[in-house]
Amino acid sequence: MNTLPLVRANALLPMMRFLNQVGAPTQQFLLQTKLPSAVLDQPEALMSLYQTHNFIELAARSEGIELLSVLASQQLQIADIGLFGKVLSQSLTGYDLLQTIVALLTKTYSSGVRVWLTQDHERVWFNHQYLNTGNLGHQQFQYYACLLHLRVMRLIIGSQWYPTDLHFQAGKLQGLSQIDLFSGTRVRFNQPHNAIALPKSILYLPIKQRENVDQSDSPDLYERLRSSSPAINLVESLRQFLQFQLPSGHGQIEMAAESAGISVRTLQRRLALEGLSYSRLVDQVRFHLAVNRLKEPTMQLGDIAGELGYTKQGNFTRAFQRWSGVTPSEYRCLL
């Protein structure tokens, strides 16, 4: 893996909504998996795919809900997935929708996965697979991710149809046959990858009701998605990871290495090849964030320090002085 796999924070919105409905201690689960407690305050932000897996597995195990991922995925609304959802909702046909997902999912929404289409005489298969085989044990997330895709398809194409076949990379969950979605669908488990089969008869028809997108958004919708996309190299993906993690104080190298699926030593070696150390990378991210925040005249220094993961403003001031030669207050006067 040449990058740290990331996913947009809004992917957790349906799961968080369901857990809140059943009274689960979501904040405790976030704390245990070292995700920021305000994870959905920045829905378009990029967070660790590995931590997302862990959050869902922990919630299912702690709450004892065998079908958690199945039930939570059905909470998804197109608006939940923000810019990505807006682009998908402009699809002309079901086939156009699948092509758009394949073209944009990995590049703009979630790295660390592979999606592709295959066809036979009567069906089009939407295939989904994680690139890191270490994720195979995350059974709940395998279901959650696959069924989120299916939910998007049914919301846009129409809820009147059901998939002809569903293949899951994970094993069988108890109680699936009681879910209406699975009653008329051929389902297979422990497959090489996740797959959803859709009948060609509905894919080639025009989508009758497409979501209206504000015309002021339309010209730069794709650009806004691409400009905030998951990075395709390790150093940049680490920067994106740190931007999300620093406010919660969980930017340690051990978590970064684990999220990238490599050892701490391997991570250090790869950074050294780029002329970097992990601590230097953290400093770079903190300095960049600090400068952007100092440009906001109403932003208090204590709040900036907290966003960078400092528990004391004095620590932030000393670090900033080490980076720039001046205090944050002096730097702000120079802007």
Q: How far apart are CA 242 and CA 240, in angstroms?
A: 5
Mean pLDDT, the chain, whole residue set: 91
State the DSSP H helix or E strand holding residue 126, giving kind and residue range, or none if neither.
Answer: strand 123-130
Is 132's pLDDT higher than 80? no
- Considering just the CA atoms, what is the radius of gyration of the chain in Å? 22
Q: Which two tokens stand for residue 163?
A: 């998939």
| pLDDT recorded at residue 161 | 87
Report the distance separating Cα 67 and Cα 161, nearest Å. Answer: 22
Locate tokens 């993690």: which residue? 245
Domain ranges in the chain are 6-227, 234-334
Check residue 270 and give its pLDDT: 95
pLDDT of residue 221: 83
Q: Measured over all CA atoms, what is the biggest interatomic distance in the chain, rounded to whole angstroms? A: 69
Residue with tokens 């909470």: 75
Q: Average pLDDT, stretch 98-103?
A: 96
Per residue in 181-206, pLDDT (tens digit) is 887 889 999 999 999 999 999 999 99
CA 74 to chain centre: 17
| Band of residue 168 on the pLDDT scale cut at 50, 70, 90 | very high
**46-48 and 6-8 as β-strands: parallel, antiparallel, unpaired?**
antiparallel
93-104 average pLDDT score? 95
| Alpha-carbon gap, residue 48 to 1, rounded angstroms | 14
Mean pLDDT across the stretch 233-246? Answer: 94
Q: State the pLDDT at residue 292.
A: 93
The two beta strands, 165-167 and 194-199, are: antiparallel
CATH superfamily label, 234-334: Homeodomain-like (1.10.10.60)
Decide which of 222 and 186 is more confident: 186
CA dist list (Å): 167 to 104, 147, 150, 171: 22, 11, 12, 10
Whether residue 283 has pLDDT greater than 80: yes
Average pLDDT over residues 120-135: 83
Please report, as a single letter, which amino acid is at residue 250.
Answer: H
Length reported for the chain:
335
Q: What is the mean pLDDT of residues 56-78?
A: 95
CA–CA gap between residue 10 and residue 1 (Å, rounded): 24
pLDDT digits (tens, 9 = 90+) for 259-279: 998 999 999 999 999 999 999
pLDDT digits (tens, 9 = 90+) for 7-31: 999 999 999 999 999 999 999 999 9
Taking the C-alpha atoms of residue 27 and residue 261, their distance in angstroms, rounded to an integer, is 25
**Collapsing DSSP states into helix, strand and coil, what is residue 45?**
coil
Does residue 210 surpass a pLDDT of 70? no
For residue 209, name the pLDDT band (cuts at 50, 70, 90): low
The whole-number pLDDT of residue 184 equals 82
CA dihedral 150, 153, 157, 161 (to 10 degrees): -10
Q: Is the confidence at residue 313, as pLDDT, over 90?
A: yes
Q: Which residues pair with 46 in a beta bridge?
A: 8
Residue 236 has pLDDT above 80, yes or no: yes
Which of these ranges, 6-10, 137-141, 324-328, has the smallest mean pLDDT? 137-141
Mean pLDDT to the nearest integer, 60-67: 95
Residue 197 structure tokens: 């089969």
* DSSP secondary structure letters along 267-294: HHHHHHHTT--HHHHHHHHHHHHHHHHH
Q: Which residues of 106-125 are buried (b: 16+ CB within 10 A; e: fewer)?
A: bebbbbbbebeeeeeeebbb
Find the mean pLDDT for residues 251-262: 92
Task: Output the 3-class SS for 192-259.
Answer: CCEEEEEEHHHHCCECCCCCCCCCCCHHHHHHHHHHCCCCCCHHHHHHHHHHHHHHHCCCCHHHHHHH
User: First vs last Cα of the chain: how many Å apart?
Assistant: 40
* 6-227: CATH number: 3.90.1520.10
pLDDT value of position 180: 83
pLDDT (tens digit per residue) in 292-307: 999 998 999 999 999 9
Does the global pTM surpass 0.85?
Answer: yes
